[in-house]
Amino acid sequence: MAVNFDEKLVVAISSRALFDLDESHAVFEREGVDAYCAYQIEHENTPLQPGTAFPLVRKLLALNGNNLENPKVEVILLSRNSADTGLRVFNSIKHHNLNITRASFTRGESTHKYIPAFGADLFLSSNPEDVQQALAAGHAAATILPSTVELNTSEQLRIAFDGDAVLFSDESERIFKQQGLKAFSANESAAANTPLMGGPFKGFLAALHAIQAEYPSEQSPIRTALITARAAPAHERVIRTLREWNIRIDEALFLGGMDKGAFLKAFGADIFFDDQKTHCDSAREHVATGHVPHGVANE
């Protein structure tokens, strides 16, 4: 019987985002691919330590509870390793008791081409090139940055998003970049009743919302937040857009250009997605952060 992921949240992740592969990657950078392969085979029974996105993946898989017959979430490994060197990754998955059973090993080739084949709603990687190609193909994707991941004891999965060029298109951000804040504010006030077009992460947010909708709001295992540099009067269009999409967002912070890091720490985000490097640099001092190289800020 064919397996169907249509009703699941599917997250694809690279091995370097899931595990700490800095030591072996340094071997690759210093001595080349053959030395890297030999190193991984020699250490294939030595478990890899958790990487930046490991706590996120653990919480995603925890959404399944004991329901392994019909899980809500599927995590797929997309790795540039070969199957031979990838054995260490699978051994580490087993060691850490992660229910990840499907993988693609491409031996140096870009992995993004398998995102639609697996039906992934989100792709996380430490390789910016793979992420850019995934975004160009219309998939939600982010580069996992080296981050300070503070211990989060809450069992609830908490995900925070920037707005423009992430949840929404960059149509308004282009006006801000090209014409300034005054023109941006005037445009958003005039278009307050016109929904923004969706950005690359609209589908991922919708998939999270579908899981949330199965629970009373006070019992949801997922909590989401919009943390944006927008402020009044540009807030109204955002609120009306989410209402038009019929997508729930639990918290909305309109910061008017303030640094986002302290607010993400207060929210307790397991991960934050933003298109602008400056915001990512503030965020990654406190929480796992994914840079979304999309839109006018990245041109």
Q: Is 121 a catalytic residue?
A: no
d(CA 276, CA 295): 9
**Dmax (CA) of the chain:** 63
Q: Pairing between strand 157-161 and 271-274? A: parallel
Phi, psi of 135, rounded to the nearest 5 degrees: -65, -40
254 contacts 230 by C-beta, under 8 angstroms: yes
The alpha carbon of 93 is separated from its chain's Cα centroid by a whole number of angstroms, namely 20
Residues ≥6 apart with Cβ < 8 Å to 13: 53, 57, 75, 76, 77, 78, 123, 124, 125
Catalytic residue among 20, 22, 84, 162: 162
Q: Facing residues of 271 across strands?
A: 159
* Exposed / middle / buried, residue 48 (Cβ in 10 Å: 0-12, 13-18, 19+): buried
Residue for token pair 């069992």: 155
Q: Which residues are catalytic?
A: 162
